[in-house]
Structure 1
Amino acid sequence: MASSLGSLAIKLSSAGLVLALTIVLARSLGPSGYGLYAYVYALVWLLVVPAELGLPMLVVRETAAARAHQAWGRIRGVWQWATRLALTLSLTITILSGLALAVFAPHFSDEQLTTFAAGVVMATLMVLGNLTGAALRGLRHVLQGQFPDLVIRYALALAFCTVAALLLGDAFTASHAMALHALAAGIALVAGRVMLARVRPVELGSAPPIREPREWLQSTIPLALVAGTFLMHQQTDIVVLGLFVDEAQIGIYRVAVQTAGFLAFGLHAVNMVAAPQFARLHSLGDHDRLQRVVTTSARVTLALTALAVIGLVSVGRPVIDLAFGVEYDAAYSPILILAIGQIFNAGSGSVVFLLNMTGHERLVVRVLGLAVVLNIGLNVGLIPLFGLNGAAAATAITLALWNLRLWWAVRQQLGIESTAIGRPLAGRQVAADDAGGMPTSRR
């Protein structure tokens, strides 16, 4: 219970910091400058996908399961293997991005190129930070596993950008904002490493590392596809929107996305706490306790999301005008459309994390892969007709459909009711390879 409340507090703090950072950047950069920042930030997240290759989720799952069986060598082995692979991939992405900048430099302004270069650096720092947080969460230090990336990074980015905006005035640009955010990510990474060094079990120091690279690679590829398709779904609307509208419109839509994203803070907070529990209870074959954890998390998520939606609908428009300025007033309609998608997201429960933590990541990949294709198609079809509202509708429709499909998959594969109803499913059997054994991704 304490971890749940602490995770909720961290997520609330993070959501508040993100919103404050959005306000500072939207006001100081203006719709056009903020649009450039938002577009590059979306590209940064797409770079993170191949650089981390689903490794954070693998580290959480393997660490939590190995800790339950006191397999300290396995924990040490997966940490070492994941870190080395992430560094290799990050270096490769950085080199390829540098080559791309050199080739396409004549087609972009200096400001655009500088902003993207800073974003590439930030992507690498975020990958390493995500791995550190995953190790902490797998050890059941859930709060410390979230604090560096969700609080320290955004708090420092907010402080740095606020000071820079005040000192530079109109000279403050998107490239400055991205570089300062990268600096904040670097400091957050160092803080996370310090936290991990303090809480790592003493047994890890003497346990010889046990590495199973072939098994882990087979597992991490579908996990990477899960993370990749999920992030692509989150960023597709902004990337496709950039093909049809100017940077100012992207800035307005980004405000809508950030504001609507606040509605999902409950789901993210609960997932951070529940994901290691899903892996542990599934590993131990404790179906009844797993159902109780899933039901409790679903009820908390739905209640928090419903309250947030009610507040947003009630006072959304005046808050947008007050916080961001009247030039962002057009963001209100997309916010309402995105809110509908978030209701479906919360109502379905923690379906993605539940399936990933129990070894069904390949199924998730198939569903989210189809969702990405659908999302791209809907965006291409709806944006020319309805503009920002079309992008929001494409995202909301896709979010609702893939949550519905994964809800059904959880029922079929695990015998678990993932929604707040929590009704036991008679006659179902837990889909595990070995009852009480360590989970595996091979299905």
Structure 2
Amino acid sequence: MRFSAARTADRFLPDRLSQPLRPWLLRLDQVLDGSTEHAVAQRVSLIAFLVRIVSAAIALVSQVIFARWMGQFEYGIFVLVWVTVVILGNLSCLGFQTTVIRFVPEYLERQQLDHLRGILFTSKAFALTLTTCIAMTGAGLVYYFRDGIEPYYVAPFIIGFICLPMIALGDTLDGTARSRSWALVALTPTYIIRPVLTLVVMSIAHVAGLPPTAVVAVVSAIIATYATTLLQLFVVNHRFKAVVVPGARQIRFGEWFSVSLPIFLVEGFFFLLTNADVLMVGRYLEPDKVATYFATVKLLALVHFVYFSVKAGAAQRYSELMHTHDHDQLAQFARDTARWTFWPSLAMAIVLLLLGKPLLYLFGAQFTDGYPLLFILVIGVVARASVGPAESLLNMAGKQKICATVYAVTLIVNICLSILLIPVYGLAGAACATAFSMVFEAMTLAVTVYKCLNINMFVFAGRTSARPAAHNPENLL
């Protein structure tokens, strides 16, 4: 017999308490049971949310230890190198990690198993091949232009490029698992296992007496990433054997790439947007300032990961609803995801502002200089949360090009403001540039979704009526 929160409350609580709680507990039971597609999306989002909470705690502890061991300067070098490597690894997939989320449910529904085998193979092979070439090229360029780069960055960057293929493969496996709503398989390796292993390897190096430098930290992260990604590859392949038996593959690379490229532009601009502030701070300021800013942004991730959690559960459901062509149901689900994103984000933002200073002190006394930045950055994060995973909806609706344009413009706004503000106002300038660009992004995405799909995703918006044209498949795909 399955666990039931409603039955448990009826059994152990008096009627005056259990009866008012019963509607809420029945809803919780539905989410945990996954008895409907809507409940499955909620369950995936809940699992993703819990994973990100655990991940945030692990990341906070590990980054505090790294900062304490390495000092502000070396920690700042490591931060800039690792953020750059992760960005390049993610971009190197060229959108295939999201394309699989769109096509796997479609091929399973239509029983096109040869197409399914083809996209599963192609997504992994493409990620590994392309990123290996990019890694070799990047390392060669850094070595060739080493005289024009600060000497303390050269070795960490060259070594860091070794990790690109595994980061790209891990992102592809994440998307592959999410296409089947395997939230734990998708998220646990990247957000829990990898940071824990990185801390373990770094701790072993520390006990062994190796100097706590950026190079040692980068090597520790590389070892952890390779071990984690290979484990995830084994698990994903094993679970897919129960979904589709081995057989012939049909490769439709041109079709998949034509879908992936706009998605790559969307997610590439978004990923750059979420990390551009750290890169711009590294461009204009010293590594110790990079360290302070990154520690502040790391705390902000405690709020921002609510959005990523909802997105993890919503993308597949968006894709399924697109194929049913039920606009009313799609619109209601989109508004639900905006609520799931906004209210937890707002609550966590308030808690973070109350606890931000002591949390930053954990990194070191000098890191508390970043506390005032939280008040600026939180404005942008909460504004972004008010429209939920709007870009995911646009991607699944085939509006990748429009979404890419939105992010391109937002990224340009962010970079231009950073160039103007950081040299004058330092870290406060970077925070203002980021917050303003996030508000601009939220407003633009909300307007775009409404214009393209007649869905108002703003959390405080009322119900929108469906246009007749919205039911036409050609307008949704």
Residue 43 of structure 1 and its aligned partner are, at CA, apart by: 1.7
Distance 1:167 1:226, change over 3 A: same
Residue 236 of structure 1 and its aligned partner are, at CA, apart by: 1.7
* Residue aligning to 1:241: 281
Task: Give the whole-Å Cα distance in 2 for the aligned partners of 1:430 and 1:327.
Answer: 58
Residue type of the alignment partner of 1:320: L
* Residue aligning to 1:376: 415
Give matches, 1:149-164, under 5 Å: 149-164=190-205
Q: TM-score, normalised by structure 2?
A: 0.86
**Structure index of larger Rg:** 2
Residue 432 of structure 1 and its aligned partner are, at CA, apart by: 7.0
Distance 1:430 1:82, change over 3 A: farther
Task: Give the whole-Å Cα distance in 2 for the aligned partners of 1:172 and 1:207.
Answer: 50
Task: Give the whole-Å Cα distance in 2 for the aligned partners of 1:430 and 1:13.
Answer: 44
Distance 1:434 1:100, change over 3 A: same
Residue type of the alignment partner of 1:383: I
1:407 to 435, 443, 446: 446
**Is the counterpart of residue 259 in structure 1 residue 299 in structure 2?**
yes
Task: Give the whole-Å Cα distance in 2 for the aligned partners of 1:415 and 1:283.
Answer: 17
Residue 433 of structure 1 and its aligned partner are, at CA, apart by: 6.2
* Residue aligning to 2:12: none
Instruction: Give the secondary structure class of the aligned counterpart of 1:139.
Output: coil
Distance 1:98 1:318, change over 3 A: closer
CA contact 1:125–1:185 (8 Å) conserved in 2: yes
* Residue aligning to 1:62: 103
**Is the counterpart of residue 214 in structure 1 residue 227 in structure 2?**
no
- Superposed CA deviations along residues 272-294 of structure 1, whole A, max 9, x for unmatched, are 11111111111121223323322
Residue type of the alignment partner of 1:361: Q
Q: TM-score, normalised by structure 1?
A: 0.93
Task: Give the whole-Å Cα distance in 2 for the aligned partners of 1:335 and 1:431.
Answer: 41
Give matches, 1:44-63, under 5 Å: 44-63=85-104
Instruction: Give the secondary structure class of the aligned counterpart of 1:52.
Output: coil
- Superposed CA deviations along residues 210-268 of structure 1, whole A, max 9, x for unmatched, are 32211211111111111211121122222222232111111111111111122111111
CA contact 1:266–1:304 (8 Å) conserved in 2: yes
Deviates more, 1:39-48 or 1:267-276: 39-48
Residue 410 of structure 1 and its aligned partner are, at CA, apart by: 1.0
Distance 1:231 1:309, change over 3 A: same
* Residue aligning to 1:132: 173
Residue 300 of structure 1 and its aligned partner are, at CA, apart by: 2.0
Residue 167 of structure 1 and its aligned partner are, at CA, apart by: 4.2
* Residue aligning to 1:14: 55
Residue type of the alignment partner of 2:142: L
Task: Give the whole-Å Cα distance in 2 for the aligned partners of 1:173 and 1:419.
Answer: 46
* Residue aligning to 2:459: 420
Residue 295 of structure 1 and its aligned partner are, at CA, apart by: 2.5
Aligned identity (percent) is 24
Task: Give the whole-Å Cα distance in 2 for the aligned partners of 1:18 and 1:336.
Answer: 21
- Superposed CA deviations along residues 55-90 of structure 1, whole A, max 9, x for unmatched, are 101111111332333332222111222222212211
Task: Give the whole-Å Cα distance in 2 for the aligned partners of 1:188 and 1:110.
Answer: 31
Give matches, 1:36-435, under 5 Å: 36-108=77-149, 111-168=152-209, 171-202=211-242, 204-321=244-361, 323-421=362-460, 423-429=462-468, 431=470, 434=473
Task: Give the whole-Å Cα distance in 1 for the aligned partners of 2:469 and 2:54.
Answer: 36
Task: Give the whole-Å Cα distance in 1 for the aligned partners of 2:153 and 2:378.
Answer: 31
Residue 416 of structure 1 and its aligned partner are, at CA, apart by: 1.9
Higher relative contact order (CA 8 A, sep 6+): 1
Query: Unpaired runs of 5+ in structure 1?
Result: none
How many residues end up aligned between the 2 structures?
436
CA contact 1:291–1:422 (8 Å) conserved in 2: no
CA contact 2:136–2:161 (8 Å) conserved in 1: no
Task: Give the whole-Å Cα distance in 1 for the aligned partners of 2:330 and 2:468.
Answer: 13
Task: Give the whole-Å Cα distance in 1 for the aligned partners of 2:389 and 2:217.
Answer: 33
Query: Unpaired runs of 5+ in structure 2?
Result: 1-30, 33-42
CA contact 1:414–1:429 (8 Å) conserved in 2: no
Aligned alpha-carbon RMSD (Å): 2.1
